[in-house]
Amino acid sequence: MFEKIIHFLTNFFQSININSYYSTAFAEGIAFIILLGIGILLLYLARFIIKKTVYRAILKSESKYDDQVINNKVLMRLCLMIPAILVMKYHADILPNFPNVQHFLLNCCVVYIIVVITMVLFSAVNTANDIYNMHQTAKIKPMNGVVQTIKIILIVFCVLLIISFMMGKKVSSVIIGLGTLSAVLLLLFQNVILGFVGSIQLTVNDMLRIGDWITMDKADGNVIEINLTTVKVQNFDNTITTIPTASMVTNQFVNWRGMSESDGRRIMRSIIIDTRSVKFCTPEMMERFKQIERIQKYLDDKEENIAEYNQANKVDTTNIINGRQQTNLGVFRAYILSYIKSNPNVNQNMTRMVRQLQPTEFGIPLQIYAFSKEKEWTKYEEVQSDIFDHIIAAAPYFDIKIFQRS
């Protein structure tokens, strides 16, 4: 077919007084354009057929896995080889008088096919990764770093194949020849290598997952992406912080996953008690405190226990400092603990404690240690604030003063 086209065009150009060399060149050039056009037409025809048959079947299927083949254009990229295959098959027929051009076209087609195959493999790797990301395991062990490493290997292998084909040598010979550039390559890919090692350590040791809340330097938010060289964190002000993957291994960071997976989020906050307001309880104070329902039983039991001790040890209780006596701070601590134990927002199966810390120049720190059932940040802060609102408001009923700088 192409011989007839070339013969016709050559005769036509010669008939309009164009010399035989240019007539042949123009005729074979037009034949090549026609062949390329047919290849492109077949490319779009193949894509059209795939969309009307294969893609429709995929979209109708209940499985979501095969949808990733469409999203990553695996078959569409595979069709890109059609024009090159057509040119390789008929290049000798359309350019019989230009062997150098034939050789050049053949080389271009081979290089083009190598690149297209690499693109298809990229799409296949992306498809496999997307399918993997559809499982919960992907959040525990993300494979983005491994996927990027595979892509780098594919690119390197593609470049080596092209170089070896153009030079007419084996791939092994090209690799040996590039050995002298290893130092330069190591320098260029230093961050990639460090990131790859760091990514493997993060994955294998389960140090980081997508969705984890971490705190590190200027990063304080949720991990949204783990790549070969970087980890992206969306902070709570919606800014994005990019952290080198290698630094996640070498530097310290806090991962709040343990808190998220536990049954409660810790509350550990203190109020400062003015030491001048701490005193022994008088009978009048005790009668007033007993009107507080939350600690009635505690006061009765404690009073009975103290009375038994003082009687057994023959303590002279005419002076209040002798023997054992209750203090307003002790009663206040008991009240806070009772309040926390009755709070429906506090996890009663985890540690609950009210304790004094080392006194400071500002007073006595009284620390509340418990776990909120609510772990979501805003709800957690609301629970914590409600607890301390109540504690601060209740302090005056026990003649306790909260320290506040004048």
Model confidence pLDDT, tens digit, residues 42-67: 888 988 888 888 888 877 877 777 77
In a structure prediction context, what are the per-residue pLDDT tens digits for the chain, which is 406 residues long?
666 676 676 777 777 767 777 777 777 778 778 888 888 898 889 888 888 888 888 778 777 777 787 788 888 888 888 888 888 887 777 777 777 777 788 888 888 888 888 888 888 888 888 888 887 777 777 777 778 778 888 888 888 888 877 777 776 666 665 665 566 666 666 677 677 777 777 776 677 888 888 888 778 888 888 877 788 899 888 889 888 887 887 788 888 787 777 788 889 999 999 999 999 988 899 999 999 999 999 998 898 898 888 888 888 877 878 888 899 999 999 999 999 999 999 999 989 999 999 999 999 999 999 999 988 888 999 999 999 999 999 999 999 999 987 6
Dihedral angle sign, alpha carbons of residues 278, 284, 290, 294: negative
Distance (Å, rounded) from C-alpha 148 to C-alpha 118?
14
The per-residue pLDDT for 216 is: 84
Distance (Å, rounded) from C-alpha 334 to C-alpha 298?
8
Residue with tokens 């001048």: 276
Residue among 295, 348, 350 at smallest CA distance from 326: 295
The per-residue pLDDT for 172 is: 64
Distance (Å, rounded) from C-alpha 152 to C-alpha 156?
6
- Write out the two tokens for 105: 């076209």
245 burial via Cβ count (<10 Å: 0-12, 13-18, 19+) = buried
- Write out the two tokens for 116: 């297209």
If you count them, how many residues does the chain have?
406
Residues paired with residue 358 on neighbouring β-strands, in sequence order: none
Fold of 172-261: SH3 type barrels. (2.30.30)
- 244, 191 in Cβ contact below 8 A? yes
Domain ranges of the chain: 2-134, 172-261, 265-398
The per-residue pLDDT for 125 is: 87
The per-residue pLDDT for 245 is: 81
Tell whether pTM > 0.85.
Answer: no
Model confidence pLDDT, tens digit, residues 199-247: 777 776 677 888 888 888 778 888 888 877 788 899 888 889 888 887 8
